[in-house]
Amino acid sequence: MSVRRFSDRVEGRLDELAAEHELPAAAVDQLRILLDVYETDEHAATTVTDPEDAVDRHVADGLSGLVVPALSRAARIVDIGTGAGVPALVLAAARPETEVVALDTVGRKVAWTVSCAERMGLTNVRGVHARAETWWEGQGWAEVVTARAVAQLGVLLEYACPLLAPGGRLVAWKGSIEGDEETVARAAAKRLRMSPPEQIEVTPWPEAENRRLVVHIKSGPTPKGFPRQAGEARRKPLG
């Protein structure tokens, strides 16, 4: 199958990202297909569709998570609220030996992500239409849980903790952390046997500002009483 080529600027960025993150040979073509799908498929759950922007705001941003060593070498990842498939599809292309679950409460988003994975030739992506709190197959299953633009940290911690094996990590893509979000997250982390947040500043593309990865490590078994009933984490955040 022929793979679309883009502008010199987009092709240059893909080459830079491939070198920076040591991507396998097939990954660049797979990411080209992803960019093409974003631009041409009206069902993609994103407003960032121009390849000139998407190569940074989706591809580079998703790949920035690989600075976390545990994510880069993980065997199993769950991407909560996968939406338009980032970082799930990007990480799956970058690390084909990693099993990636694209988890979302919206069935059409899961179906789109799985369809896009098939078009990209990815065999390591599984779609799950479920709430994080009720996906029991996933309890204690993942080495890493990822989340981008899903919820505040305290809520994400409650979603992620039951899915993680002890020693596993939540990696959250964040811009600014507003108000008392970090204070609430620290209190929630303590109740959930998760470490305090570690913030890693990243610059996925040259003009990116105020971007960070927030990492929490699970230190022991999930406490009794978690996960709570669906929706409780948002209605009554811990802390």
Q: Residue 220: which pLDDT band, with cuts at 50, 70 and 90?
A: very high
Taking 80 as the threshold, does the pLDDT of residue 178 lie above it? no
Mean pLDDT value across residues 187-199: 96
CA distances from 13 to 60, 71, 151, 205, 209 (A): 9, 22, 29, 9, 18
The bridge status of strand 198-202 relative to strand 211-217 is antiparallel
Domains and CATH numbers, the chain: 65-235 (3.40.50.150)
pLDDT single digits (tens) 129-147: 999 999 989 999 999 999 9
Residues 6+ apart with CB under 8 A from 136: none
Give percent of the chain with pLDDT exceeding 70: 100
Q: What is the mean pLDDT of residues 92-113?
A: 98
